[in-house]
Structure formats: structure tokens, C-alpha cells
Amino acid sequence: MLMVVVFGLFKFHFFWTPDILFVVLFGLFLILGQGKQFAIYFSPFLILLLSFDKLRSLAPIINHRVHYLEMPNFDKWLFGGHLPTAWLQRHLYFGHVAWYDFGFYFLYMLHFIAPIILAVVIWKFKPKYYGQFVSALLVLSYAAFITYVIFPAAPPWMSSDYGKIDHIQRISSDVWRTFGVKDFSLYYKKLAPNAVAAVPSLHAAYPFLFALTIRKIWGNKWFAISLTYPLLVGFGVVYLGEHYVFDVLLGFVYATLAFYAAPYVLQFISAQIGKLNRKYGPTLRRLERQSHGRS
């Protein structure tokens, strides 16, 4: 089943990026008679996420000093001189893709749709938590962007390609080859506009933020279950050669900080909106009454 899903994405050049998913969901809620509400709640969310995606591609232009060795040096220190990515690939990768490679890559690809899916679920079933979740997600995203500008960092596969560390196989490329994809760069531009945005790992940070949010909304039982998602993603991105353990752990830290900072950010935004309403609200309402009077 996973092979069919991944094959479909590559075969039809179709990637569930936030803008595409927004259009699909808007059409669905339009049919259900909730198109206006969906557009009101999710348009700012979409605009901010897409602006982050565009800004992320500017990071390597702003700062050209790419870091290659700090992350693998940390991983080796943490694991007694062994690089986890290399160790995992020696024990799990045998020169061809296995079923679990598709599984890990499928989880890797969920990064592009999972935030909006969870936001929709919260909006529909626990709407009072919607603002906090979206605020946390945006705080996390922009905090990561600032880090990408200050500290551009190469993923393991790139460090390997430049001879900075021992050989690391980029297993996602092998997944592509399995389905006959030859132009890797075309697809990579769709998936990651900034190749040196490895620290922190948002692929690990987003799922950990989801788990923290689920704990807050649905309790510890569902938190224990939801933790399997960030743990599997963290394991997968290290094994696939996309991130170091350092990147994953820092992603968890960023997610935690964003989660606890979100209520204060939301409170600040609400206060600013209240000030604008008090300052300009009477004028706008007066103009609206005058407009209705003339009509």
C-alpha cells in the first residue's frame, strides 16, 4: 500500500503541498456548506506558512557559511565515536530499498500535509485549541527559519557528497529510482527549497509538537500513542541520511519551546487586535452606517 501511495505521488508529479491541500479541503468544506468558515480560519494560516516556505529559500543566500561538522561531531560524542546514520545504514540498508524504506519515506512526506490535517481536526472537534496550535506551529516555523539564516547546516547526505564525513547513502534517492524517477533535483526543489536547512529538523519538530498538542487536548493516553509518530520520523530521517540525531533532538526542543510560548503569542496578538478595534472600530462602524444610509 505504501509503495502504491509513493508511486502515485511520483508518477503524476503530484505533491500535497499546503496550497494544494488548501484547495482540496476548501472544495470539500464548500460542498458541506462550510466553505466561508474554512476560508476565514485557514487563509491566514496558509498565507503565513507559504510565506515561511518562500523565506526559507532565502536563508542560504543571506548566509553562505554552511556548517558541516558540528552535527556529526555531536552525534559521535553522544554515541561513543559512532555516527548513528552510518551505523543504521550498515545494519538496515543492503544496497536496495526494503519495505521499511518506503514506510520511513512515507512518514517523511507527511511533513507537507500533517500540519493542516491536524489543524482541521482541531478546528472541527476542539475549536478552542485551534488558535494555540496554529500559533505554536508558526512560532516553531519562524524560529527555525531564523536558525537557518544564522546557522546554515548540511544534512548527512550532503556532507558525505562533499567528503566531510564517511559515505552516507541518500536512501530517498533509491526510493525515487525504484519508481523510475531520474530528475531528482526537480523533485527536491518541490520538497525542500533550502538544502542547508537541517538544524533544527522540522520533520521531527512538527510531529513532536503534534504529540504535545494531542496531550493537552486529549490526555496522556493519546499522548503515549501519538509519540510513536515523532519517534518513528526521528529514527527514519536519521536512517535515510536526511538528518543527524543532533537535528532531531534540537527539533524536539524547538517544538517544546514553541508549544509553551504559543499562549503568550496568542495573547499578544489578541491584545493588538483589541487595541486596533478600540481605536478604529467606531470610525469603521460610523462609515458603515453612513454607507447603509446612502444606499
- Which pLDDT score, from 0 to 100, does residue 289 have? 60
Summarize the confidence of residues 264-284 as an average pLDDT.
Answer: 69
| Type and span of the H or E element at 242 | none
**pLDDT exceeds 50 at position 128:** yes
- Which pLDDT score, from 0 to 100, does residue 6 have? 47
Backbone angles phi, psi at 6, to 5 degrees: -65, -40
All cell numbers assigned to 219: 490526555
**pLDDT exceeds 50 at position 166:** yes
5 pLDDT tier (thresholds 50, 70, 90): very low
Summarize the confidence of residues 104-120 as an average pLDDT.
Answer: 85
185 pLDDT tier (thresholds 50, 70, 90): very low
| Segment 197-220, tens digit of pLDDT | 889 999 999 999 999 999 999 988
Q: Is 67 helix (H, G, I), strand (E, B) or coil?
A: strand
**pLDDT exceeds 50 at position 294:** yes
Summarize the confidence of residues 166-186 as an average pLDDT.
Answer: 73
Lowest-confidence region among 109-113, 166-170, 189-193, 256-260 = 189-193
- Which pLDDT score, from 0 to 100, does residue 3 have? 47
Helix residue spans in 57-129 (DSSP H): 59-62, 70-78, 84-92, 99-109, 114-125
- Which pLDDT score, from 0 to 100, does residue 13 have? 46
Higher pLDDT, 233 or 51: 233
* Contact in structure between 229 and 156 (CB atoms under 8 Å): no
- Which pLDDT score, from 0 to 100, does residue 83 have? 97
CA–CA separation, 142 and 281 (whole Å): 31
Higher pLDDT, 158 or 265: 158
Helix residue spans in 112-219 (DSSP H): 114-125, 130-150, 156-161, 171-178, 184-191, 202-218
All cell numbers assigned to 291: 454607507
* Contact in structure between 155 and 241 (CB atoms under 8 Å): yes
CA–CA separation, 138 and 131 (whole Å): 11
Lowest-confidence region among 17-26, 85-94, 158-167, 264-273 = 17-26
| Segment 49-96, tens digit of pLDDT | 667 666 666 666 666 788 999 999 999 999 999 999 999 999 999 988
CA–CA separation, 227 and 173 (whole Å): 27
CA–CA separation, 174 and 167 (whole Å): 15
Averaged pLDDT of the chain = 81
**pLDDT exceeds 80 at position 155:** yes
